[in-house]
C-alpha cells in the first residue's frame, strides 16, 4: 500500500543512494572528477584505480553505509511490525531505491557507479550472513584473479543460490530480489564481461592510483 509516509521514505532512500561519494572525494581532495578517468564510473573500484587506497577506502565505506542506512529507514519509520513480511518487503524496496540513486544520482547529473558497494550495504542490512558468504566469494576470486569485476559478478550470481539453497528462504519477494540482484550486476558489468572475454579487463592497483584517461 502506497502512503505519503512510505513514499517519503523511498525518496529519502534514493537521495541517500544519490550521494556521489567518489565524485565528491575526487573533486574536493584531488581536484578531479573520477568519472573522467579509468572506467568512467563513480564508484569505489574506479576510485581505487584512479586515486589509490587513501581515496578508495572512504568511498567504499560511504557507498556501503548509504545502502545499509537506506534499508534501516524501514525500522526508523515505525510503519510496519518488526520481522513482518511487510517490513521485509519495504526494506527491499528501500534498498532498490538506494541502488537506483547510486546508479542514477540526482546530485551528480545522473552519472553514477555500478552499485556494488551500495548493494553490499543493502545485503548486510537485509541478510547479513548471506552477505558474508558473498563477500568471501568476492575476496577469494579477487585474490586468485585480481579482477574486481569478476569477483563482483560471481558473488552476485552466487547470492540467489545462497539465499534459496543454504538459508532456504521461503518469502517470494526475497527470492525474486536475490535473482534481480544477479541480473542487475550482470547488466551493469556488461562491458567488463566483454573485456574479460577479450582478455583486456584491467586489474586494480589498490596501493596507488594513476590518473589515466
Is residue 92 located within the same domain as residue 194? Answer: no
Cell of residue 122, nine digits: 543493502
Is residue 108 located within the same domain as residue 13? Answer: yes
First-last CA distance in the chain: 47
CA distance 175 to 150: 23
pLDDT at 39: 83
The SS3 assignment for 196 reads helix
Cell of residue 149, nine digits: 569485476
- Of the three residues 97, 126, 155, the one that is the final residue of a domain is 126
Task: Write the CB contacts of 96 (distance below 8 Å, at least 6 apart in sequence).
Answer: 177
Q: Which domain holds residue 20?
A: 1-126
- Of the three residues 65, 92, 126, the one that is the final residue of a domain is 126
Cell of residue 92, nine digits: 527491499
Number of domains in the chain: 2
Residue 112's CB is within 10 A of a number of other CB atoms, namely 28
Give buried/exposed letters for 69-101 (b at 16+ CB in 10 A, else e).
Answer: bbbebbeebebbeeeeeebbbbbbbbbbbbbbb
Give the confidence band of 206 by pLDDT, cuts at 50, 70, 90: low
Contact 89, 39 (CB under 8 A): no
Q: Does residue 56 belong to any structural domain of this protein?
A: yes
pLDDT digit string, tens, across residues 107-140:
999 999 999 999 999 999 999 999 999 999 999 9
pLDDT at 49: 86
CA distance 206 to 139: 13
Rg (CA), the chain: 17
Q: State pTM to two decimals.
A: 0.89
Is residue 9 located within the same domain as residue 90? Answer: yes
pLDDT at 146: 87
Q: Does residue 10 belong to any structural domain of this protein?
A: yes
| Residue 197, pLDDT above cutoff 80 | yes
Question: Is the model more confident about 210 or about 1?
Answer: 1
Q: Does residue 136 belong to any structural domain of this protein?
A: yes
Amino acid at each position: 500500500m502506497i502512503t505519503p509516509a512510505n513514499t517519503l521514505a523511498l525518496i529519502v532512500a534514493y537521495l541517500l543512494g544519490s550521494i556521489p561519494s567518489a565524485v565528491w572525494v575526487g573533486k574536493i581532495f584531488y581536484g578531479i572528477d573520477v568519472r573522467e578517468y579509468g572506467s568512467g564510473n563513480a564508484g569505489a573500484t574506479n576510485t581505487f584505480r584512479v586515486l589509490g587506497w587513501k581515496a578508495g577506502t572512504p568511498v567504499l565505506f560511504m557507498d556501503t553505509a548509504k545502502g545499509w542506512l537506506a534499508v534501516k529507514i524501514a525500522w526508523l519509520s515505525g510503519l510496519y511490525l518488526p520481522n513482518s513480511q511487510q517490513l521485509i518487503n519495504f526494506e527491499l524496496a528501500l534498498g532498490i531505491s538506494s541502488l537506483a540513486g547510486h546508479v542514477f544520482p540526482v546530485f551528480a547529473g545522473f552519472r553514477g557507479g555500478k552499485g556494488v558497494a551500495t548493494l553490499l550495504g543493502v545485503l548486510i542490512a537485509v541478510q547479513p550472513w548471506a552477505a558474508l558468504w558473498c563477500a568471501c566469494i568476492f575476496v577469494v576470486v579477487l585474490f586468485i584473479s585480481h579482477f574486481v569485476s569478476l569477483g563482483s559478478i560471481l558473488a552476485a550470481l552466487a547470492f540467489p543460490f545462497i539465499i534459496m539453497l543454504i538459508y532456504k528462504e521461503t518469502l517470494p519477494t526475497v527470492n525474486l530480489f536475490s535473482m534481480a540482484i544477479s541480473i542487475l550486476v550482470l547488466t551493469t558489468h556488461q562491458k567488463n564481461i566483454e573485456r574479460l572475454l577479450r582478455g583486456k579487463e584491467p586489474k586494480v592497483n589498490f596501493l596507488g592510483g594513476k590518473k589515466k584517461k
